[in-house]
Amino acid sequence: MEKAGDSRNSDLAEVKSLLLELTAIREEMLAEEHKFQSRLDAVHPNNRTSARNLLHYLVLRRRDLRPLQHRLAPLGLSSLGRAESHALGAIDAVLKVLHHIAEIPWAPASHEIAVRDFSEGDRLLVEHSDTLLGAATPGRRVRIMVTMPSEAAIDDSLVHSLLQQGMNCMRINCAHDESSIWLRMIEHLRRAEHVLGKSSRIVMDLAGPKLRTGPVEPGPTVVRIRPQRDTFGRVTAPARVWLTAEEAPSNPPSQADVVLPVSSVWLTRLCVGDRLRLTDARGARRTLKVVEISEYGCWVEAKKTSYVVPGTILIRKGAPQDQRRCSIGSLPSVEGTISLHPGDYLILTRSIHPGRPATFDNDGQLLAPAAIGCTIPEVFEDVQVGESIWFDDGKIGGIIERVEMDQALVRITQTRLRGAKLRGDKGINLPESRLGLMAMTDKDREDLLFVAQHADVVELSFANTSLDVEMLQQLLAGLSSSPPSIVLKIETRRGFDNLPEMLLTAMKSPSCGVMIARGDLAVECGFERLAEVQEEILWICEAAHVPVIWATQVLETLAKEGMPSRAEITDAAMGDRAECVMLNKGPHIIMAVKVLDDILRRMQSHQSKKRSMLRELRLARPIPLGNQN
């Protein structure tokens, strides 16, 4: 049996071992600070303490802390699991107790401590969040950012309602619309602020060098007229077709399934009750019935499905021979697509001439692989054989097997089970390629003239290096004496890898933030790694006391369709870990803001960053005592 003295000696030895390990970490933190002193001197005074804490935290996380945590926990000491906002202070708090246990005097120099305690780190993050995003809404710490649809420029009541329901930041995406429309959105916001007595930050997002597919050859010019049917295939409502004069087309007065242009002379002779016969593209004979006539066109109904192409003849039954026939005019082409399956080849070209599907001979043998253009041909100078490539938000994946001057050959490796259709203007991601693209395009520089004068915050899309950040800072300094704050959008693997360095550069400005752009980031880092990556971004930013915006697909189904999925509710609740949550546009965006406001208010009493807030449990009913005999 172990004697008390032996146990005491064993505990003391463990304490001294922990002292040595933690002291070594502390000395490494201070050495790192000294190493980067010139970078710290360049940081804005508002951020200098936070920049030091970031360096300390990065030193702490260079190692696997789990063995150390397991040794600290039995002693009842902090396991450093919530050290983000006060890294050196957390180490010193543990060292102070260990020195006391070992009866060894210790008093660190006051100038060595960047952030003394948890509350100071919290205070700095709150101050920085207020500066960047505006004051928080009473009862809700996390702000709500809303991306403006084009309608916000003509519908001031939409902006009014969004601000009334809890919007804290109006986001304008410079990839859409133009400056006169953006200005009307801002004017509507200012009017709503005055009426409601509330305020909102104006956030403008630079489009950046978005890699996209070029156009695809249009498909066949054909429209399908299809009635509504029940589960058993029985017609429940006929298809409504609007006939309009091809010489002067008019929009249907209400929702139409199909619009067909015809001769205006022939159209004026139609009467309610007339029956129009046609033979469709499949050779099927069909009849349309005229049900309503107006001065702009007429409504006809169809109870059977038909496929109509330009030149299809309509025959008016019972009319004089010279007035019976009319041909259908020009129709819109079906959007072109390229069908792809695992094992297929796709040629990615510098040219943005319309792409085409693969071609085959009569025996089904491949004559030529599918081909499609790339909107930024400069990437061909950087991509390498063996690197991965993704299309359309990760729906289609492949490997680059050959790179030539004007094209690259891609072998498709991943699609849905039944294949996928690639369209024009879809995103391209090259997560393993070291692209030499700068974050700002010529269009971004033009847009920055407006942004510098009207925005409170500018978002830098595809921020990958500190050079990208420096370029934006220099341009803004030349455009405004009080430039907008900068938010780094982290949406590439390279941007994630370079985040600490970019933060130190961004912190040269008085205020900065980070957006986790989870759409492209998931494709770049792998969907299976997204949860891990977004956690690391949250931790690094908390160490820098930099506010984070949680973005992409938050309550998207609710905003677009009026009903959220269960997973979306959970995801929105996780947004409470950030300082701001972004909603995208949709027909039900006002409802989405209201729901998100409620979720964030509820979660505030349960979670704060990595800390669980232990509010009393609200059980459905208490556990009965039962029979205690």
pLDDT (mean) for 128-157: 96
To the nearest whole number, what is the mean pLDDT of the chain?
92
Token digits of residue 306: 């038909």
pLDDT digits (tens, 9 = 90+) for 68-85: 999 999 888 888 988 999
496: helix, coil or strand? helix
Among the listed ranges 80-84, 517-521, 552-556, 610-614, which one has the minimum average pLDDT value?
Answer: 610-614
Rounded Cα gap, residues 404 and 410, in angstroms: 12
Count of CA atoms in the C-beta half-sphere (13 A) of 24: 8
Domains 126-209+438-607 and 223-327 share a fold: no
pLDDT digits (tens, 9 = 90+) for 459-492: 999 999 999 999 999 999 999 999 999 999 999 9
Residue 456 confidence (pLDDT) above 70: yes
C-beta separation of 511 from 201 below 8 A? no
- pLDDT confidence bin for 112, thresholds 50/70/90: low
C-beta separation of 565 from 592 below 8 A? no
Helices (H), 455-555: 466-479, 493-497, 499-506, 518-525, 530-543
Pairing state between β 407-414 and 428-429? unpaired
- pTM of the predicted model, to two decimals? 0.84
Q: Is domain 126-209+438-607 in CATH 3.40.50.150, yes or no?
A: no
Instruction: Give, as one character, the DSSP assignment of residue 246.
Output: S
> How would you classify residue 479: left for phi > 0, otherwise alpha for psi between -120 and 50, otherwise beta?
alpha
Token digits of residue 192: 């709503």
Angle at 483 between CA 479 and CA 489, to 5 degrees: 110
Rounded Cα gap, residues 547 and 487, in angstroms: 9
Q: What is the 3-state secondary structure (H, E, C) of 41-68?
A: HHCCHHHHHHHHHHHHHHHHCCCCCHHH
Instruction: Give, as one character, the DSSP assignment of residue 317.
Output: T
Q: Is the dihedral of CA 63, 68, 70, 72 positive or negative?
A: negative
Where are the domains positioned within the chain? Answer: 7-116, 126-209+438-607, 223-327, 338-429
- pLDDT confidence bin for 612, thresholds 50/70/90: low
Strands (DSSP E) found in 328-395: 338-340, 345-349, 359-360, 366-368, 370-373, 388-391
Within its chain, how far is the Cα of 168 from the centroid? 18
Amino acid at 497: D
C-beta separation of 172 from 188 below 8 A? no
pLDDT digits (tens, 9 = 90+) for 189-199: 999 999 999 99
pLDDT digits (tens, 9 = 90+) for 414-452: 999 899 999 999 999 999 999 888 889 999 999 999 999
CATH top class, domain 223-327: mainly beta
Residue 298 confidence (pLDDT) above 60: yes
C-beta separation of 360 from 367 below 8 A? yes
Report helix angle 589-603 to 566-574, nearest 10: 60
Q: Which of 339-343, 351-355, 607-611 has the highest mean pLDDT?
A: 339-343
- Residue 216's pLDDT is what? 94
C-beta separation of 489 from 459 below 8 A? yes
Q: What is the 3-state secondary structure (H, E, C) of 406-449?
A: CEEEEEEEECCCCCEEECCCCEEECCCCCCCCCCCCHHHHHHHH
Amino acid at 233: G
Count of CA atoms in the C-beta half-sphere (13 A) of 280: 18
pLDDT digits (tens, 9 = 90+) for 34-46: 999 999 999 999 9
**Residue (of 581, 549, 586) closest to 564 by Cα position:** 586
- pLDDT confidence bin for 111, thresholds 50/70/90: low
Helices (H), 511-615: 518-525, 530-543, 556-561, 566-574, 589-603
Q: Is domain 338-429 in CATH 3.20.20.105, yes or no?
A: no
Amino acid at 39: R
pLDDT digits (tens, 9 = 90+) for 572-584: 999 999 999 999 9
Angle at 115 between CA 114 and CA 117, to 5 degrees: 150
Residue 627 confidence (pLDDT) above 60: no
* Residue whose entry in the numeric block shows the structure tokens 């945590």: 69
Token digits of residue 112: 């060595």
C-beta separation of 338 from 422 below 8 A? yes
Number of C-beta neighbours around residue 116 at 10 A: 14
